[in-house]
Structure 1
Amino acid sequence: MPFVLYAPVKDGLHDPSIAKQVTAFLSKLFQDDTTPGLHIEPINNAVDPKVRTGRVTQMYRAVLFKLVSDGVPHYVFTGVWPHDKAIEVASKAVLKMNPVNGLPELIMASEVDLTPVVERVARVPVASVAAEFPFLEYKSPGLTLAGLTEELGLDPDVAEHAWVATSEDEVMELAGKLGGWRGEALLELAVGATIADVRISLGMDTAPTVEAEAVEDEQLVSAMRTPTAQMQFAWLEDQEELRRVIEGGDLAAWRIFLHPEQRKYVEAAYGGSFRLSGGAGTGKTVVLLHRARMLAKRNPQARILLTTYTRNLADGMKRSLRDLDPSLVLADAPGKPGIYVAGVDQAASQVLGSASRDELAAAVEAVLGIGGNRATSRTSSAQKAWRDAIESVGGDLGPELRSPTFFDAEYDSVVLAQHITTLDEFLRVRRPGRGVALGRLQRQAVWEVIRSYRSSAAVAGAVDFGEVCAIAAQLAASGPIADHVLVDEGQDLTPPRWQFLRAVVPEGPDDLFVAEDSQQRIYGQRVVLGRHGIKIVGRSRRLTLNYRTTAQVLRFATSVLAGENFVDLDDEATDDTGYRSARSGPVPIRVATGSITEELDRAAAQLAEWLAAGAARDGIGILVRDQRMVERVARGLEDRDVRVRQVSKSAATGKDPQLMTMHRAKGMEFTHVLIFGANADLLPAAYLLKDLPEEERADLLQRERSLFYVAATRARDELVVMWEGKASDFLDAFTAKDHVR
């Protein structure tokens, strides 16, 4: 039975209308390459004798390369073209082994003509900072043109094209044309990496040695199994995977193509907990999904918990996991073999629900110091409950402490985190990471409010989500219920949630794998994992290549964070060195308006412009600060005959542009994003700052900046930001004034 490798080239994407015929063709090839009707044929006078074409339909032909290793045929599928075009492509296509770095290279006819890049470069003035030497030499001092060919392995023509580039954007354009290891190497050089850095990052020093006496097919097949080669060449395991890949289109690519850095973290074994950080769009969630699959395949009886902060993100991961591999066993409750995918609060609630009445009562007593069997949850009413408690018994509080936001954070970060049940304990407890210092009298006044909050909840028989997790942690301490825990968006989890996750899995190899990005922290306070029994010192790494957003959108988004200092879950400053995008596109546009009416008019016009240009309706996201604005914008656009779909927990499916809050957009992506209402009074939200202690304002403002950053990085291709009146101060650092309209 032949092996089939999937290596689609950009202009070889087949017409979606013949996807089933392509699947049928490759399925037959999978079974027997001599099957009548496949017509696997060589091309006369082809540059590479390994190239073949195959009949998909009367009109379309596939272009493949045939390799034979250990007597077994291996076919590399590159795409489908109309008959004559396929013959032309095949006659010039080459699959070869790079003699410098031992990696396979797929060079198609479409790549031969790179002159448009050079012609456009020639029209761009050389930046003054690099006026005396090429851009790549400026970014990586000591780099030479000879080094690109003799040490990195780029072909001379490609190296020369890269050498004449005058900016990062020019290098990115060339990298996009090349793809594979060559494109990634240029992207790394464009942000300052050395050739030595690139060779290490792409695993070139561990690639197979090119031996002149070896059979070329054997060399190529071996090279295609390396992590770097699998950025471009995917080994399809069976016909079902083949069908999902072919019929899934471009958006399915994440399921099979991993950067070598990503693959390393998917497959590695760790002696304990591990933390993987990375900016927006770097593929942290993709790594988690592939790692969950790897762990399940390695041990089908393993109990794996895949979790994140919100339920909608967890639901998205569950759908993606099914797309990745429908054969995976998805458990319906924690503690069962398979992969249990749920929001952390949902998982904790399941643990409470499975406990006996006596077990639950004992756990509530231990955590809250109050007897009773409290098992329901209080969610949106928690802020109201804090306000009621403050009004009821908070007369001795100073004005700077009369904030539900302050009490919510104090309760999770100090009281629940350290199992405080009495005033005496609260008077003595340390409060690491809390901005507001409390004297003895202030602590007494604060405790009175906490006591009232707990007492009223006991009467109602309710618990809030932080309490749910703390109680579940107490229950789980009697016996772990998971073998591996994988956590997405770890920066948003509170101490009680980390206590729960630490309790459900015993310390040991591959126990906790945490993905996080401190720059996307939009909920809760800063957390240091070491304070909650999760030891990750020395086992932390960072991803730096953004696959989602264009470089232009990324520059805008990071400008929103200018001047901020971010601290990760290791209590270390975030290092953004080398963070870059793999894609290029238009500069984000800022639209200033004088009234909400004008802003809605401009928004309707922008949506119409995108749709007229061919944007998919459901590929457009309209993001606003809060639910009140969602409803206002929905009514305003409806009045202008623009159909949109409001996205909420109960939203119906549909193909219209999606309107939602910025918080709701976390974990999603769109081809086009319109941020509506970037006003000074909404970003940051003025109502959140009301009555907040001065010591905690800086942290809240940072979270508000991060929220704007999250919203901007949902855009894959185009971003428009609108406001009425005074723009948010968060926009000040974006200096492309010529893109205001």
Structure 2
Amino acid sequence: MYDIRLTKPYTDSIRKFEHRPDVLASLLVTTTELTSQPFQNPRLQTHAVKNCPAGTYTSYVGNRGHRLIWRLIKRVIILLVVDEHDAAYRRAERLKLEIDDQQNVLRVYDIDPATEGQQPYEERRQVEGSLFMAWNDRDLLGLGFRQHEVPVLRRLDNEDSLLDLEPRMRPEAFTLAYNVLAHGNPQGEQAAIEARQAKEREEATRVDDGFFLADEAEERTLVSALDQPGSRDEFVPVTADELARILAAPIEDWMVYLDPSQQGLVDRRFNGPARIRGAAGTGKTVVALHRAREMAREAGDSKVLFTTFIRSIPAVLEHIFSRFAPDERQRVEFKNIHAWALGLLGRAGRGMNIDLSKVDRAWKRACDRVLTDTSPLQRASLTRSYLREEIDWLVKGRALGSLDDYLGLQRSGRGTPLSKELRTDVWSLYESYETELQNAGVHDFNDVLTTAYKLVRDSEITLPYTAIIADEAQDLTEVSIRLLHAAVGDRENGLLLVGDGQQSIYPGGYNLASLGVDVRGRATRLTKNYRNTRQIVDAAFRVVEHEEFDDGGEILEPGKREIQVMRDGSEPVRCGFETSDDHDLALAADIEAAIDAGCGQGDVAVLVPTNRLVAEYVSRISQIGLTTQKLEHYDGHPNSHVKVGTYQRAKGLEFKRVYLPRLDLDGLSEAQRRNEDDKTYAERIALLRRRLFVAMTRARDALWLGWVGAPSSLIAHPETPQIDAQSASTR
């Protein structure tokens, strides 16, 4: 068998065919054949490429119009480019594999389009789109483009960006650009066919050249450089089976694809608590799942706990985990933090009575007693929901023992300042709430966590866990973090916290150092986005780029982050309507069109801010004959139901296509509420921004944004044009 390595020129070239499933399917067949029989294979018709270094070959991709160019080093096949016949050869002639003498690693070099001198491919790619990289400036001018048009073509990264330019280009220049892009020939399709047939007649006389390699000394040098750890980023190992699974499988399988460059993080040994953080889409959960498998393999008779705050996520991750790690499934326990803590207490004979309706009534009675007309909190116009969050996430969530503790608290994660008088009144409300809970004989979930923490801290129960992984850790309370840390302590590979403060969808926050959880030297930040397209990432970050966020450190992090996006695609569809009926009809039409175009019905999600809108869109989508599934009932099994849920329920999930309806003042409840002071309002909107950001980044390939009347200020942006509503519904 031959090993396959991917290069960045190759992954860039694939994007040209993202809307051509026939070409992608053929490419998968070619790649699979290469791993077993690259030569003397009638499917591939492999032969050496002229004007390229020894060991450079071309193979057929499906019909004879496409070519895969690759380089052979020992038993390693390095994929360089896939494209139309002539364009593939043109790119291959310009790509070289050279050793970086300073670092002794192998790199891909390209030709600078202006100077025609060598430069690292990554450097060229950072300042240039991929669409016309096969032609240098002299080539483009020779084809008939004008001098001022060449820099414009250099910026284009996909076919849609060229089509968007049509109204502003000379008709002759657009036709020329389209022919070159679509057919690889400036004269159009027929001329391209004739040129290809002539080339194929020439190729027929020299098919299957077999091995024609560099001399042994040069090959040894290349092999040594290729094996260097620093070469893995540019020459990523991947099997043909993995490629097939990535491109063709349901979204549930995509959710466990581990980029080979992340394997080192999965295997790394941590000599104490560790942390993995990074922006949305950087593969944090995937790394965590694969690490859980590795920990389970070493666990012996012990177990690994994989926990999170969101109640519905563990069932999804458990099923996904069982599909790629069935042998380790029984040694990994997937539970949300509250269910896990309740189980601990039950096994210790310390059961607690959780009755949410009685808890709500206890809260109401406490508010009625404390929040009188003369109450400082009432005069400050702080809402009951805001005060409940204050007590749940700060007072009880941090297990504060006294009013003095609360008065001295740095209220990280809360934007509304509270004076000593207001804090004193909050504490009175908390004490009244506790009294009402005791009188009703019930507990809330914070009581469960606090009691479990004390039980574990005081060693009153023996736990079977050798490792604990907490995903979406930014949404956990301080007490939760203390509980998990107490369960495994500072042992090697014991506690791993995975999350991103920018995706925090609940108030609060914490500082790890103040909790005694030391991750210095064991914290990793992921910066490559593998999930979303660049266009989706850009749209999502515009929502939060001016909002600093708490990521568990000493200082706030800036909203605008430097990440590398690995995929390209179409701009999100943005469309407004005069009536809600028109809006919902367009939404339904776009979903139906996407399914007709080949997107699996189960890979589509409609996400909304409230449970009321969940019920409304379940009904709307059902009316057009499509089955739906609420996210609260989704357990990770692939199915053919359109998923519908709130932004919060979508946390930790991803879908090929995401629809976000009613992004307007009413749909998002964006308006300032009666008796809501400015600072409380600003804090609520900041939280809404983060939730919307989470919803937008659930989309892998396509994102639809719709509104009635005027768009919400959260998504209005002068650099993102609104798409005509009628045309948007047909895209």
Residues 1:734 and 1:19: Cα distance change in structure 2 (over 3 Å):
closer
DSSP-derived class of the 1:377 partner: coil
Q: How many angstroms apart in 2 are the aligned matches of 1:348 and 1:725?
A: 46
Asked if the contact 2:659/2:705 (under 8 Å) is kept, the reply is yes
Distance across 1 between alignment mates of 2:676 and 2:358: 19
Structure 2 residue aligned with 1:664, among 649, 653, 672?
649
Q: Secondary structure at the match of 1:718?
A: strand
1:127 matched to which residue of 2? none
Q: For 1:415 and 1:296, locate their aligned partners in 2 and report how far apart those are by CA, in whole Å.
A: 36
Q: Report the Cα offset of residue 313 of structure 1.
A: 1.8
Please point out which of 654, 666, 681 is paired with 1:697: 681
Name the structure 1 match of 2:353.
Answer: 376
What amino acid maps onto 1:465 in structure 2? F
Question: Letter of the aligned partner of 1:353 in structure 2?
Answer: G
% identity of equivalent residues? 22
Q: 1:573 corresponds to which letter in structure 2? A: L
Shift of 1:348: 1.5
What residue in structure 2 maps to residue 487 of structure 1? 470
Aligned 1:273-422 pairs, distance under 5 A: 273-301=273-301, 303-331=303-331, 339-356=332-349, 360=350, 375-379=352-356, 385-395=362-372, 396-397=374-375, 398-399=377-378, 400=380, 402-421=382-401
Relative to structure 1, is the Cα distance of residues 586 and 458 closer, same or farther in structure 2, using a 3 angstrom cutoff? Answer: same
- The answer to whether the 8 Å contact 1:493/1:524 transfers is no
Q: Name the residue aligned to 2:226.
A: 223
Q: Deviations over 1:581-640 (max 9, x none)?
A: 22222212222112222222222222233233333222221121111112222333444x
- CA deviations 1:266-296 (Å, max 9, x no partner) are 2323343333222211111111112222233
Corresponding position of 2:512: 529
Structure 1 residues not aligned, in runs of 5+: 54-62, 64-79, 119-140, 175-209, 237-241, 332-338, 361-373
Aligned partners of 1:593 and 1:228: how far apart in 2?
Answer: 51
Cα shift at 1:551: 1.3
| Preserved contact between residue 305 and residue 340 of structure 1 (Cα < 8 Å) | yes
Letter in 2 for 1:318: E
- The Cα RMSD (Å) is 4.8
Distance change >3 Å, CA 247–CA 580, structure 1 → 2: closer
User: AA paired with 2:343?
Assistant: Q
Distance 1:392 1:534 in 2: 39
**Paired residue for 1:265?**
265
Are the equivalent residues in 2 in contact too, given 1:23–1:243 (CA < 8 A)? no
Which amino acid letter does the alignment assign opposite residue 664 of structure 1?
R
Higher relative contact order (CA 8 A, sep 6+): 2
Aligned partner of residue 338 in structure 2, secondary structure = helix
Q: Name the structure 1 match of 2:612.
A: 628
1:368 corresponds to:
none
Which residue of structure 2 lines up, in the alignment, with residue 712 of structure 1?
696
Give the C-alpha shift of residue 506 in structure 1: 0.6
> Could you report, residue by residue, the CA deviation over 1:63-106 in whole angstroms, capped at 9, with x for unpaired residues?
8xxxxxxxxxxxxxxxx966x869x968x6432489xxxx9732
> Which of 452, 455, 458 does residue 475 from structure 1 map onto?
455
CA drift of 1:730 comes to 0.5
In 1, Cα distance between equivalents of 2:544 and 2:569: 21
Match of 1:581, SS? strand
Which residue number corresponds to residue 571 of structure 2? 587
CA contact (8 A) 1:7 1:232 kept: yes
Give the match's secondary structure for 1:263. helix
Q: TM-score, normalised by structure 2?
A: 0.70
Instruction: Write the distance in 1 (CA, Å) between the matches of 2:124 and 2:214.
Output: 16
CA contact (8 A) 1:234 1:257 kept: no
Question: Equivalents in 2 of 1:439, 1:150: separation in Å?
Answer: 57
Equivalent-residue separation in structure 2 for 1:685 and 1:341 (angstroms):
36
On the 8 A contact 1:234/1:256 being kept in 2, the answer is: no
TM-score in terms of structure 1 length = 0.69
Question: Who is 1:614 aligned against?
Answer: 598
Q: Which AA in structure 2 matches 1:507?
A: D
Would the alpha carbon gap of residues 347 and 15 (structure 1) be closer, same or farther in structure 2, given more than 3 Å must change?
farther
Among 437, 444, 448, the alignment partner of 1:457 is 437
Structure 1 Cα separation of the partners of residues 232 and 300 of structure 2: 28
Indicate conservation of the 8 Å contact 1:162/1:171, yes or no. Answer: no
One-letter identity of the residue aligned with 2:483: F
The 8 Å contact of residues 306 and 333 in structure 2, kept in 1 or not, is answered as yes
Residue 225 and residue 458 in structure 1: after superposition, are their counterparts in 2 closer, same or farther (change >3 A)?
farther
Q: Distance in 2 between matches of 1:537 and 1:145?
A: 46
Q: How many Å separate the matches in 2 of 1:4 and 1:299? A: 31
Q: Which residue of 2 aligns with 1:126?
A: none
Deviation string for 1:218-261 (max 9, x for gaps)? 9649936857548866577xxxxx9888678644466565253x
Runs (5+) with no aligned partner, structure 2: 92-111, 138-149, 160-212, 726-731
SS state at 2:540 partner: helix
In structure 1, what is the equivalent of residue 79 of structure 2?
106
Supply the distance in 1 between the matched residues of 2:406 and 2:26 (Cα, whole angstroms). 71
